[in-house]
Structure 1
Amino acid sequence: MSLRSPLPPPDFELASAFPEVAWLRQVAAASDWTAVRQYVDGLPQGTDRAFVVRVLAETPGVEQSLREQVAADPYDVFALTVLGAREVDIGWGIRTSARAKNVTWEQFARFHAHLRDAEQLLIRATALDPSYDAAWAERLNTARGLQLGRNEARRRYDRLAKYHPGHFTGQARLLQQLCPKWGGSWEEAHGFARECMLGAPDGTLNGGLVAEAHIEHWLDLKSEARTEYLHRPHVHAELTEAAARSVLHPQFGRPHGWVTVQGAFAALFSLMGDTASAAVHFRALGGLASEYPWSYLGKPAESYVRHRDAALARG
């Protein structure tokens, strides 16, 4: 499909939504960990630091200077966490996002080796500071990748939630663990998503978990069953409530992660044919986009343009 459209193409650059990302990438690439640490330490109380750690972990080549940092100070919780997250990122890059049946034995072996290295670093970080949210959030990734099971993942999430109730990144990672593809069930996944939404203040991201659960459920169905699923009245009602409690609430402040959550609602309302509701979310996005959920619908940019243009033309 051509991307010719009367509107600009979608902007998938994370730094367009959060300008600090460009600076974080620059200083991480320069191994200026003092500047990064000062930035992280100065974040307001309650900030989801997992977002910043993930930005740093996705910066190519930072693992070498981080290993030097950890070797020089084995008690540096921040360096342990970022290096652990970097090992996770390298490992998942080797495994890819393919279903297990499409991943080779060699890929799995290398993937697990990096996750085991990450696990040791992150265990040390959470032992030194049991309240460090980003380390627990990464340990939810290693629990899933190493197939440690739902009980262990829930234990880790409960440790995180003890200090950081309503931690969106942690909840999103546990939600993935609760989906059938990782050994859970749809009853568990939808129940947890709703529990997170109801347990959080209105105007926060947590309602977006309801949308994520429905996207995952929709994707898991055979093609002929997907339309029927989205036309179930309770699905539309749950999404409408979740959007009102989160991204459409007057108190919503667009924290880290909001583009992905807003996009999830835009995609779902588009798929179910509610172009008026989808248009509200596309207008709020203003052309910003993230790979998820649009990669689930085909080529991300093409999917975004197709659904956006249809929604704005009718809604």
Structure 2
Amino acid sequence: MDRLIVPVLSLVVAIAFYAYKAHRSRGAAPARTPRPAGRGKQSAGSVRLGFVPPERLDADRDQPADPRDGAVRAAVRAGDWQAAATYLAEAGGDWQERYHRAGQLAAEAAKDDAWLLAWRQAHPHDPGAALVNADALIDLAWAIRGNGLGSTVGEESARRFHEVLHRARQACAEAQALGGGDPSPYIVEMALAMGLGYPHERMRELWAETEKRDPYHLGAYTRALQYWCAKWRGSHEESFAFAATAASRAYPGSLLTLLPLYAHFEYETSQDDLDPDEYYKRPEIVAAVDACLADVAAAPPHNRRVPQVRHFLAWCLYWQDRYPEAVEQFRLIDGYAGATPWDYASDPVKRYTEIRDYCADRVVEAGV
């Protein structure tokens, strides 16, 4: 792979990584202001329940860091590509874990790819190295673009963005040819489907290849949902239909019941005249939350995808005035605000703290 990045871009890779993964839509505050206090102030109820003070919240993660991730990222920064190869290979046939690990490595390669070049030179046909290469190019493309709406992207940035995405498309094809039963290269390409505007038929082909390799891959579903959202290449109707299909295929513990909540969230945040205090109380959304609660309860407790779902549940339960249940979710995710829905706000920590503390105050007042 060519040298990926100029020094100035290294300053924005971390921000762009979240833009690429989450594609934030807007940062407006909720229609219902939970409490007037600003960031840095913790409510009495929150303190009483032992929640983490705002200044100690992690705005970059949705859960505690995995020591293995940190160790391998430090190793590759020191040039140890063998550590990367071992780390990726140890995921085995757990495709969701492999996808996660490839993303960790890609984030490092987008900053400095010397170790990846060495890996590829030593093993030109290594499927893991090819996967990381493709993912890193997409990280770079989103770094160039930035995390704003399309209307805010300058002409030169837009040109370079699409140039790198076209390079990434070739890299995805290579990774897919080498990847065998691994769905990860197809999931990675879904970011290209958004950025390059793939027609629906091509996206369906990508999805078919992904689904036959892992029909319950949560990361694949959430990535595809973004494509089908109106803000990218689909419509509200198509995103709701995709989410409903996912939920219909869910088995207890699969976490696919997250998809309807995600689709409703994307719709609500795209409608300026919609009151979330009313919207989330619709019977079909209450039922979707109940289904998701049961799904999470059936999932293995150490499943790294569970916190992502709990963050969404906390958000929805708040709007449904189900404060004790929301507090239960906050107890299990507290300390971490680097997740959707909080990261759609201009200040994720403030958004998280406001809603968490509002729920805590209601629970303490009620003596629950």
Same fold (TM over 0.5): yes
Q: How does 1:236-251 map to 2 (within 5 A)?
A: 236-245=286-295, 247=296, 249-251=297-299
Cα distance in 1 for residues equivalent to 2:339 and 2:175: 30
1:143 to 2:190 alignment: no
Question: Which structure 2 residue ranges, 5 or more long, are not aligned?
Answer: 1-37, 364-368
Letter of the 1:55 counterpart: Q
Alpha-carbon distance, 1:61 to partner: 2.7
Whether the aligned pair in 1 keeps the contact of 2:172 and 2:185 (CA below 8 Å) is: yes
Q: Deviations over 1:40-95 (max 9, x none)?
A: 22225334111111111112533233234334543121111101111111111221
Question: Which structure 1 residue ranges, 5 or more long, are not aligned?
Answer: none
State the partner residue of 1:11. 58
State the partner residue of 1:128. 178
- Secondary structure of the equivalent of 1:16? coil
Q: Which runs of 4+ in 1 moved over 4 A?
A: none
Kindly, what percent of the aligned residue pairs are identical?
26
Alpha-carbon distance, 1:141 to partner: 1.1
State the partner residue of 1:209. 259
Deviates more, 1:68-77 or 1:189-198: 68-77
Aligned counterpart for 1:293 among listed residues 318, 323, 341: 341
Whether the aligned pair in 1 keeps the contact of 2:84 and 2:105 (CA below 8 Å) is: no
Change beyond 3 A, Cα 1:137–1:220: same
| TM-score relative to the length of structure 1 | 0.91
Cα distance in 2 for residues equivalent to 1:47 and 1:72: 24
Alpha-carbon distance, 1:102 to partner: 1.9
Cα distance in 1 for residues equivalent to 2:221 and 2:126: 26
Aligned counterpart for 1:188 among listed residues 233, 238, 242: 238
Aligned counterpart for 1:21 among listed residues 69, 72, 82: 69
| Structure having the larger proportion of residues in helix | 1
Change beyond 3 A, Cα 1:67–1:142: farther
Cα distance in 2 for residues equivalent to 1:223 and 1:32: 52
State the partner residue of 1:93. 143
Whether the aligned pair in 2 keeps the contact of 1:87 and 1:115 (CA below 8 Å) is: yes
State the aligned residue count: 313
Higher RCO structure, 1 or 2 (CA under 8 Å, sep 6+)? 2
Q: How does 1:1-315 map to 2 (within 5 A)?
A: 1-5=38-42, 6=47, 7-8=51-52, 9=54, 10-14=57-61, 16-43=64-91, 45-48=93-96, 49-59=98-108, 61-245=111-295, 247=296, 249-315=297-363
- Secondary structure of the equivalent of 1:269? helix
Alpha-carbon distance, 1:180 to partner: 0.7
| TM-score relative to the length of structure 2 | 0.79
Larger Rg: 2
Q: Deviations over 1:128-157 (max 9, x none)?
A: 223222211111111211111232122112
Q: CA RMSD for the aligned pairs? A: 2.1
